[in-house]
Structure 1
Amino acid sequence: MGLIRDRKSNHSSEMRECHNYKFELKNCDACTRWQKQRPALITSKYRQNLSPLFFVRLIAAAMAIRFIVMVTIWTTVFINSLLNQECSVPSNEGYCGPCPTNWVCYRNNCYRFSDESKNWYQSQASCMSQNSSLLKIYSKVDQDFFKLVKSYHWMGLVKIPTNESWQWEDGSILSPNQLTLVKMQNGSCAVYGSSFKAYTENCLTPNTYICMQRAV
């Protein structure tokens, strides 16, 4: 009987140890699975929390870089246009080079509107001293901005006493296609008015004048 109790006692002890061993194995397996799943869960939560913020920052950085690049480009273009702009040319036709200071550059010519009044001969001498001549209208198309002039200025147009014809300083004869000449009494010189009209005037009458020269 004692032997049987000992066997039963040993058997019960072995069963408890086996049960404890299986329980520990189950716990170990569960722990291992949890440890394997834990990094994935953390990574997933990290991605869920940080992905929107990361993309927002990335988009903001890209937009900021693009804005800086565009501002730099436009600033460079604007500065270059200011540096390279030697004169104002309303038309795309022809090249207008630099003109002297206080002269107006239009297409291929330079013009100076005087602010002093002189007679025709003095005005002619003043223009000659500046390597130019009095205004000549040779094209209503190329000199179309003169239609906006409202005051009167001496121009390089005079009457030849021998044949009563009107000619420019360079000796060419006035053409009806250049401008309309309105004849006044006692006038042997011409002043430019507006809308391509010239008026005869006494050559000794003081008037402002317009000098003209080719752009270099």
Structure 2
Amino acid sequence: MGRIHDQKYHHGMEMREPHNYNLQSATCETRKRRQKHKSALLTGKCRQHVSPFFLGYIIAIAMAIRFLVMVGIWAAVFMNSLVIQGVSFPSLESYCGPCPKNWICYKNSCYQFSNDSKNWYQSKASCQSQNSSLLRIYNKADQDFLKLVKSYHWMGLEQIPENRSWRWEDGSVLSPDQISMVEMQNGTCAVYASSFKGYTENCLTPNTYICMQRPVRGLSKTQ
């Protein structure tokens, strides 16, 4: 009887052990599946964060930085262009005719911005000694760079006392479409400031001045 009991006991143990093994295997498989599921969820979240808005955001920032760098470069180039008497000019690449040395050539006219201050009569004489005249406005479109002028300069306008009309040095009458006159002080001469506006000024007041010259064919640029 004892042997029979032992055989049943061992037989029962043999039946239980595979069952326990199967349970452990199933548990391990379940854990693995859960881990894979969590990994898949995490991967999916990461992918959602990375694409597509995040990538678009990064690209937009990169483009903005590149744009700012280009703007900075062009601004530096512009600021390093010719600056005379508070006037900043764009780079004048095209050749528009022979001008004296250190003069500005713009749309077939030559300009010189003085560094010294003189009265109107002295300024006029200084320009004439250089085969030029004080600034004259012929056409706003052809002289558009003069809008950038920031300080006062004598120009070639003088008021005729008899009829209070304004005339250029060559005797031609000022046209309303050339420049607008603003009464500032008692005087019969005019200074140019900016935006095609002239201001009355006492002719004996010292001011800087602008000489202007129409290029003559054959004139040396190194004069």
Report the TM-score, using the length of structure 1 for normalisation. Answer: 0.56
- Give the match's secondary structure for 1:125: helix
Question: 1:129 and 2:129 equivalent?
Answer: yes
Aligned to 1:200: 200
The residue identity in structure 1 corresponding to 2:173 is: I
Runs of 4+ aligned structure 1 residues displaced above 6 Å come to none
Deviation of 1:185 after TM superposition, in Å, equals 2.8
Give me the CA root mean square deviation: 1.4
Where do 1:71-90 residues align within 5 Å? Answer: 89=92
Aligned partners of 2:156 and 2:119: how far apart in 1?
Answer: 12
1:160-199 pair list within 5 angstroms: 160-199=160-199
Counterpart of 1:98 in structure 2 is 98
**Other-structure match for 2:158:** 158
What residue is the counterpart of 2:114 in the other structure?
114
Counterpart AA for 2:152: Y
- What letter matches 1:191 in structure 2? V
- Per-residue deviation, 1:184: 1.9
Corresponding residue for residue 144 of structure 1 = 144
Partner secondary structure for residue 185 of structure 2: coil
* 2:42 corresponding residue in structure 1: none
Deviation at 1:89, TM superposition (A): 4.2
- CA deviations 1:61-119 (Å, max 9, x no partner) are xxxxxxxxxxxxxxxxxxxxxxxxxxx646x7xx6112111100001100000000000
Q: Secondary structure at the match of 1:123?
A: helix
Structure 2 unmatched runs, 5+: 1-90, 217-223
- Distance, in Å, in 2 between the alignment partners of 1:97 and 1:113 is 18
Q: What are the ranges of 5 or more consecutive residues in structure 1 without an aligned counterpart?
A: 1-87
Q: Which amino acid aligns with 1:141?
A: A
CA contact (8 A) 1:178 1:196 kept: yes
For 1:151 and 1:136, the matched residues in 2 are separated by 16
Helix, strand or coil at the partner of 1:137: coil
Aligned to 1:11: none
Counterpart AA for 1:169:
E
Aligned residue-pair number:
126
Aligned residue number for residue 73 of structure 1:
none
Q: Flag the structure with higher helix content.
A: 1
Aligned partners of 1:152 and 1:214: how far apart in 2?
Answer: 22
Deviations 1:112-132 (A, max 9, x none): 000000000000000000000
Give the conservation status (yes or no) of the 8 Å contact 1:89–1:96: no
Aligned with 2:99: secondary structure? Answer: coil
Distance 1:206 1:193 in 2: 15
User: Percent identity between the aligned chains?
Assistant: 75
Letter in 2 for 1:161: P
